[in-house]
Structure formats: structure tokens, C-alpha cells
Amino acid sequence: MKISVIGCGYLGAVHAASMAKLGHEVVGIDVDAGKVAALNAGTPPFYEPGLRAVLAAARKRGSLTFSTDIADVAGAVVHFVAVGTPQRKDSDAADLHYVDAAFEALLPHLRSGDLVVGKSTVPVGTASRLDLLLRSAVPEASLAWNPEFLREGFAVKDTVAPDRLVYGVPGGNHGDRAVALLDEIYANALARKTPRLVVDFATAELVKVAANAFLATKISFINAMAEVAEATGADVTLLADAIGYDRRIGRKFLNSGLGFGGGCLPKDIRAFRAHAEELGVGDSVAFLGEVDAINLRCRDRMVDLTFDALGGDVRGKRVAILGLAFKPKSDDVRDAPALAVAARLMAAGAIVVATDPAALETARLVLPELQLVASAGEAVTGADVVLLLTEWKEYRHLAPSALDTVASRSILDGRNCLPREVWEGAGWRYRSLGRP
């Protein structure tokens, strides 16, 4: 099928490439000429394992192009809108202006029978509003809302083989046609019996924010338990293992430490809360304010632990940070807990030297005054304390002897991911959040 994808950020670029991988003919549209040029040259504009290979294969087949000209959607039958919905600068609500701009730009190029598919994370009610707009401009065009659940670091896999498909569609013929077209696009996944839920617009929009709110709550739950563990002498990692064996609870997303960041969970729970208040059901999700607060406290606790490890005064002390990205396998530093900790320690007078396998460039743009080095070995040389803040595999598997150039053998495990006995056995002082 001929498909267009409007917006080629993390979501759109991966979606465009993955749709081409599934055999469709795809054009990706973005207003950023640099991004379009990079994608056309087969270079992902961000770090995402597997994306380069998918881009290369699609380019070889000639089934994937990128353009800054919206008129190039001509000929496509299905148009995915995958632009960002960041947090507004003046409030917690979602900023919908990229979504509105994408629809406005797309409308003049739509033909009767085309299907527009929203993938962006939006407040409930957005799809109905856009559906009216679409139908008044192009009567026989239809809208569907098809939320995306991909995780950065596994984005291609999650798009090509999702764990479920959710189609939000209007009633009647428009809905039937939308379902038929989406089934054709996702034929591969459906053949593997991927669960497919056909729902109304509001449910589809809510599924996405509810899923992210649940994940954020699960992480904050275990980090709240970490606070209690600290006050009681319990070990939060053993607690997580023990409750995680209960299949109703499950061990996933119970990794305690520095908490969640990134371009999705933090802004989505805030936007959800803001929108619920507008709808008069603010009380129903007021707990998300607490989820946010617990999460932000993790950063304070990490800073406090560093102060403690350095005898209460960080001024002039050398702090090595391993990991800056908001999670491993990503170069994304949007709302990254590690960068927040680095900034606070610098503001308190510490000499902070940081490294990351993928996020040096992105971190430099956000915190230019942070001293960045290429390797863990360089970062820790002369350090008074080492902070592991993103659990990249290469850090989890570090041998203590690899960091022997430190000034003081003191390591703070911000992700509860190091084998404590190995580090203590090698003469290191090991400390982490939520463990005695």
C-alpha cells in the first residue's frame, strides 16, 4: 500500500521505515530539511538500534523516501500523523499545535477515500474534533486513531511486531473502511494473531495515556517502597523480586532507582492530569501528581546520597557520572534523570565529568557546561565518587578493576543494577537507593 507519514521524529521515522520493511511504499514528510536529508542518506537522525539497517534495506528496494514537501503525499491512500505533542511551556497540558499544523497542511492534498491515521499521543476529544474538520474538507476521507506503544531502544521491533493493535474509528462506513485499510497495513502482525481491538476514538486516545500512566505508577510505586526501605533497613530490590513473582503484579517495571524520564512518561502523566481537571474528573487521576512527585524525589535522593558519600560537601570534589541518556539503548536526554542530577551537583560546586555510550552529543546541547568524555575510564580518573545513572550493558558488566584510576573507591548505583558483592569484594564502598 502507498503510505505517507507526517512527522519523522522518533515515532514517525521508525514508523515510516517499519512500514517500508513490511512491504509498503512509504513517503515520510518532515519540516526539518536536515532530518529529511539524513534519512534520505540512510542515516538515522537519532540513536535507535536496528533503524539504520531497516532504512538501508528499504532504500535499496526504493520503497522509502523522505521529503519536506507535503505535496509529495500525493498518491498515498493512508496518511499517518506522527508528530510530537510535547508539554506546553505555560502549563502541564499537551501542546497540540504540531498535530493541528500537520492536519492543516495535509487537508488540501487529501482525496476522497483517503484515510488519515493519528498516532500522536493526544488528549481525549482531539480525534473527534479533527474528524469533523477532515469530513468538512474532504467528505469521503476518514480518520482513525491508532496509538503507538513503541519503546525507544526497541522501536523497530515494537512497530513491526507490536503486542497489540488498537484502532479508534468512527461508526458506520467510515469506520468499516478504516478497519479494512488498517488490517491491510498490519496484515503481518494480524497473521501472527496479534490482538486487535477496534474501539471508539475516546477509548483509543485514553488507552495510550492510561498505559503510560500505569507504567509510570508502577515505577513510582517501587521508588516509594525504596523510600520506605531506606527508613526501615529493608532492601527494595529483594522486595521487588518477591512481589514480582506474584503474576498479578509481575517483576517488569519494578526496577527502582533514579526513576523515569524521557519524552513520554513525564509529559504524558502531566497532560493526562491537566486534561482530567478540565473534564471535571481531576480527582480520579490526582494520584498522578504523587507519581510525578515521587519520581522527581528520586533525583533529590540521588543528590543527597552523593553529598553523603562525599562527607556532606561536594564543593571541589570530582564526581564521575556513567550514563546520561534517560534509559539505555537511546541517545535521548529529554527529561533525563541523570542530566538533572549532573546539573544539580555542578550547581552545588562539584566537578562533574560524565560519559555515555550514545548521548554525548544530545547532552552537550542541553547542558553545554557539563564536562563530557568518551569513556568510563576517562570519566572516573581521579574521581572521589562514581555515579552509575543509566544502566547501559557496558556499565552493568564493568569489572571494578577497570575503574582503578579513581581517587576513592566509592560507587553509587543509581539503577540498582550492579552486583554489589563483586564491588564490595573488590574493596569498593557500594551504595544505592532503597538498599541498606
Smallest gap from residue 152 Cβ to ligand UGA (A): 4
Which span sits near ligand UGA by CB under 6 A: 53-61, 132-140, 259-267, 360-368?
A: 259-267
C-alpha cell at 387: 555515579
- Nearer to ligand UGA among residue 218 and residue 317 (C-beta): 218
What is the identity of the amino acid at 166? Answer: V
Note whether 212 binds ligand UGA by CB under 6 A: yes
- Nearer to ligand UGA among residue 326 and residue 430 (C-beta): 326
Cβ neighbours of residue 366 closer than 8 Å, sequence gap 6 or more? 333, 339
Note whether 264 binds ligand UGA by CB under 6 A: yes
* Kind of pairing between the strands at 64-67 and 429-432: unpaired
Query: Whole-angstrom Cα distance, residue 156 to residue 21?
Result: 10
Smallest gap from residue 102 Cβ to ligand UGA (A): 17
- Of 66, 76, 144, nearest in space to 110 by CA: 76
- Nearer to ligand UGA among residue 2 and residue 88 (C-beta): 88
Query: Whole-angstrom Cα distance, residue 340 to residue 205?
Result: 30
Which span sits near ligand UGA by CB under 6 A: 46-54, 149-157, 229-237, 375-383?
A: 149-157
Size of the site for ligand UGA (CB under 6 A): 21
Instruction: Give the strand order in the sheet containing 25-29.
Output: 64-67, 25-29, 2-6, 78-81, 115-118, 142-145, 165-168, 196-199
Note whether 414 binds ligand UGA by CB under 6 A: no
Which span sits near ligand UGA by CB under 6 A: 29-37, 127-135, 148-156, 176-184?
A: 148-156
Smallest gap from residue 60 Cβ to ligand UGA (A): 28
- Checking phi first, is residue 75 left (phi over 0); if not, alpha (psi -120 to 50) or beta? left
Note whether 151 binds ligand UGA by CB under 6 A: yes
Among 149, 244, 297, 364, binds ligand UGA (CB under 6 A): 149
Note whether 386 binds ligand UGA by CB under 6 A: no
Note whether 359 binds ligand UGA by CB under 6 A: no
Smallest gap from residue 11 Cβ to ligand UGA (A): 7
Cβ neighbours of residue 365 closer than 8 Å, sequence gap 6 or more? none
Note whether 121 binds ligand UGA by CB under 6 A: yes
Note whether 46 binds ligand UGA by CB under 6 A: no
For residue 417, indicate whether it is catalytic.
Answer: no
CB count within 10 Å of CB 129 equals 14
Among 25, 48, 114, 148, binds ligand UGA (CB under 6 A): 148
Q: Are 126 and 133 in contact (CB under 8 A)?
A: no
Beta partners for residue 116, in sequence order: 79, 143
Smallest gap from residue 269 Cβ to ligand UGA (A): 11
Q: What residues numbered 295-354 form the site for ligand UGA, per CB under 6 A?
A: 326-327
Cβ neighbours of residue 38 closer than 8 Å, sequence gap 6 or more? 44, 45
Note whether 356 binds ligand UGA by CB under 6 A: no
- Nearer to ligand UGA among residue 46 and residue 326 (C-beta): 326
Q: Are 260 and 216 in contact (CB under 8 A)?
A: yes
Note whether 254 binds ligand UGA by CB under 6 A: yes
Among 253, 343, 351, 366, binds ligand UGA (CB under 6 A): 253
CB count within 10 Å of CB 191 equals 8
* Kind of pairing between the strands at 78-81 and 64-67: unpaired
Note whether 142 binds ligand UGA by CB under 6 A: no
Q: Are 358 and 412 in contact (CB under 8 A)?
A: no
Q: Are 118 and 82 in contact (CB under 8 A)?
A: no
Smallest gap from residue 223 Cβ to ligand UGA (A): 8
Query: Whole-angstrom Cα distance, residue 175 to residue 158?
Result: 25
Helix axis angle, 10-21 to 51-61, nearest 10°: 50
Residues that bind ligand UGA (CB under 6 A): 121, 148-152, 212, 215, 219, 253-255, 257, 259-262, 264-265, 326-327
Q: Which residues are catalytic?
A: 264
